[in-house]
Structure 1
Amino acid sequence: MASSSFRPISRRSMLRGTLIAGAGVAVGPLLLSGTAQAYSWSRTLTQGATGSDVTELQIRVAGWAADSPSHSRVSIDGDFGPGTAAAVRRFQAAYGLSVDAVVGPNTQAKLNALEQSDGSTLHFNWSEFTDRVSGSFSGGKLSASQVKENVRRCMYKLEALRKKLGDKPITVNSGFRSIAHNADIGGASDSMHLYGTAADLNVPGVSNKTVYQKAETCGFSGLERYTADHQHVDSRADLGRAWWWESGTV
C-alpha cells in the first residue's frame, strides 16, 4: 500500500478536475487494455506469489484497502505482498469466508460471483459509465480499451463501497466523459472522468457524508466534499497524481 499526506485544494479546482501533480505523469498499470471475462484462476494464491493472476486479484480487492479512513491503496503490481494480503482478509471477512489471506477455491468463487460475463461487475453495467453523449468509451485521454479497463477497476472499488454501505444500490450519475462532452459541461482539460477513473454517485437513503466516510476506506484517492449534491470519487493516485480529499479525513 502507498500513502500520502492530505493537502487541501479549493472547491473550484475540484469541480473542474484540476490535478495536483504535473501533467505528463505515466499512467502506469492502469494501461492494461483487456477485461477479464469469466476469469479462470489456475492456482491458489498466497502471500509471496507474483504474476498476472495476482494483478487480477489486486484489481478485485482494491476496494478493501483499509479498515478506517486512510490514504491507503492496493498496489496493482502483480506482487502479493502484505497490503494485498490485508485487503484479501477484509474481503474474506465481509463475505463470510475464512479469514486467512489464502485465495483458494472459495475466495476465488466469491471474487468471480462479483463479475458479469461481459467483464463488468455484479451491480454495475458498462452503460452506466459510458460517455453520456456518444454512449461509448471513445474520445477521452486514453484509448477506448484503456478507458474501459479503468472503468472496470473503478467498478470493483464501487462493489466494495456498496457492500460497506449495507448493500445499498448506488446510482452513477457520471462516469467516463469524452473530451468534447467534458468541455461542453465546463470540465477541466485533465478531469479524472476523461480517463475512466472517476464516478459521481448518489446513494438513495444514504447521506453523502456516510458515502464519503466509507469511500475513505476503499482506496479512492480523490473525494469531492460531501456537502455537494452528489459524491465524486476517483483513483487519481493510480495515475501518479497526489491524493486529494476535499473534506479531509472524516
Structure 2
Amino acid sequence: MTDETAAPGTAAPGARTTRRTLLRGALGLAAAVGAAGALDLGLARPAAAYGWSRTLQQGASGADVTELQIRIAGWAAASPQQTCVAVDGSFGPGTAAALQRFQSAYGLGADGVAGPQTQQVLNSLESADGSTAHFEWSEFTSHDGSGFGGGNVGSAQVKENVRRLMYKLEALRRKAGDRAVTINSGFRSTAYNAQVGGASNSMHTYGVAADTVVSGLSTLSVYRIAETCGFSGLETYSVSWQHVDSRIEYPYGSQFWWWEDGVA
C-alpha cells in the first residue's frame, strides 16, 4: 500500500442540471464546428462567469492571469512530462504554450492569446455555483458526511483546491475523448482518511487529490493521459482507479514528483 492507497468508496456523479446538459451539447458542437460556430449557437455564460476585462497575452500579470492559469493547468504538456503550469499571476511562455494546447482542443485559433472567444470558452467550463461543467462539488466531499470540513486545512481552502483540481480533470476528460469521469474519492476528512487507511498527510485531506475512473478506459490509459495534465502525484495503474494529485504546487509537506510507475 502506498502513502495514498486506500479502498475508496464509490460515489456516482450527482444529477446534472438541464443547463449543464445543454452546455455539454454546446461544447460538443464547439469541437465539431469551431469557435465561431459555438459562439453563433449561443454558448451559455453561467451567471457566475469570470469577468474577464482585457485580452491576456505574454507579459501580462495580475489576478486574471492567475485565474487563466488555474483553468488551463491541465494542458501543461503535449506528451508525458513532469511539468505544471505555474499559477503565479505572471503570463510567461509556459502559460502561453498551455493556452495554445487548450485552444487547439476546443477548436480555437491557437495563438496563445486569451481574447474574447477564448475567454468565452473558458467560461463555458464554469458552472454558476463555481464548480465546472462536468463535475459537481458533491462528487468531491468526504464520504463521512463532513463536506469539506475536518481536513488538514480549512474548508474554504479545501474548496478552492478542489475547484482547481476540477479544471485539471476537465482537461483529462477532454483528452480522454469527453468520456465520463467518475470520482471515487475526492476530499477526505482526517477522520475518514484514517478510517480507510490513508496516510496522515494524504493529499486527499487537502482537497488536491482524486481517485478517478474514466468510462471505457483502462487505468493504464488514464495514467498516460494524466502524465500530460500537470499532475505531480500518480498512483500505480495496477489498481482499478487512478489516483491523481497536485502535491508539488502546495506547501503541504509533499512537494516532490511521485509517479509511482514512472513514465508509462
- Give the TM-score taking structure 1 as reference length: 0.86
Pair 1:72–1:45, CA change in 2 (3 A): same
* Mapped pair 1:247 → 2:261: yes
Matches within 5 A, 1:125-164: 125-164=136-175
Mapped contact 2:146–2:189 kept (Cα < 8 A): no
**CA-CA distance at 1:14 after TM superposition:** 4.1
**CA-CA distance at 1:95 after TM superposition:** 0.3
| Cross-structure match for 2:5 | 15
Whole-angstrom distance in 2 between the partners of 1:208 and 1:152: 23
User: Partner amino acid for 1:208?
Assistant: T
User: Partner amino acid for 1:247?
Assistant: D
**CA-CA distance at 1:12 after TM superposition:** 2.9
**CA-CA distance at 1:203 after TM superposition:** 1.2
Pair 1:13–1:181, CA change in 2 (3 A): closer
User: Partner amino acid for 2:179?
Assistant: K
User: Partner amino acid for 1:182?
Assistant: N
**CA-CA distance at 1:230 after TM superposition:** 0.7
Pair 1:124–1:212, CA change in 2 (3 A): same
Whole-angstrom distance in 1 between the partners of 2:138 and 2:246: 20
* Mapped pair 1:93 → 2:104: yes
Deviates more, 1:130-139 or 1:171-180: 130-139
Mapped contact 2:235–2:260 kept (Cα < 8 A): yes
User: Partner amino acid for 2:248?
Assistant: A
Whole-angstrom distance in 1 between the partners of 2:118 and 2:88: 20
| Cross-structure match for 2:92 | 81
Mapped contact 2:75–2:101 kept (Cα < 8 A): yes
| Cross-structure match for 1:3 | none
1:13 is paired with a residue whose SS is coil
Pair 1:68–1:123, CA change in 2 (3 A): same
| Cross-structure match for 2:44 | none
**CA-CA distance at 1:135 after TM superposition:** 4.5
Mapped contact 1:130–1:176 kept (Cα < 8 A): yes
Matches within 5 A, 1:100-119: 100-119=111-130
Aligned residues: 221
**CA-CA distance at 1:45 after TM superposition:** 0.3
| Cross-structure match for 2:238 | 227
| Cross-structure match for 2:220 | 209
**CA-CA distance at 1:142 after TM superposition:** 0.8
Whole-angstrom distance in 1 between the partners of 2:128 and 2:162: 16
1:173 is paired with a residue whose SS is strand
2:3 is paired with a residue whose SS is helix
Listed as ranges, the gaps of 5+ residues in structure 1 are: 1-10, 17-35
**CA-CA distance at 1:37 after TM superposition:** 3.6
Whole-angstrom distance in 2 between the partners of 1:37 and 1:82: 29
Listed as ranges, the gaps of 5+ residues in structure 2 are: 7-46
1:49 is paired with a residue whose SS is coil
Once the two structures are aligned, what percentage of the paired residues are identical? 62
User: Partner amino acid for 1:48?
Assistant: G
Q: Deviations over 1:221-241 (max 9, x none)?
A: 000011111100000011241
| Cross-structure match for 2:179 | 168
1:89 is paired with a residue whose SS is helix
Mapped contact 2:4–2:199 kept (Cα < 8 A): no
**CA-CA distance at 1:247 after TM superposition:** 0.8
Q: Which has the higher contact order (CA 8 A, sep 6+)?
A: 1
Whole-angstrom distance in 1 between the partners of 2:160 and 2:3: 26
User: Partner amino acid for 1:213?
Assistant: R
Mapped contact 1:127–1:135 kept (Cα < 8 A): no
User: Partner amino acid for 2:3?
Assistant: S
Whole-angstrom distance in 2 between the partners of 1:14 and 1:178: 14
* Mapped pair 1:57 → 2:68: yes
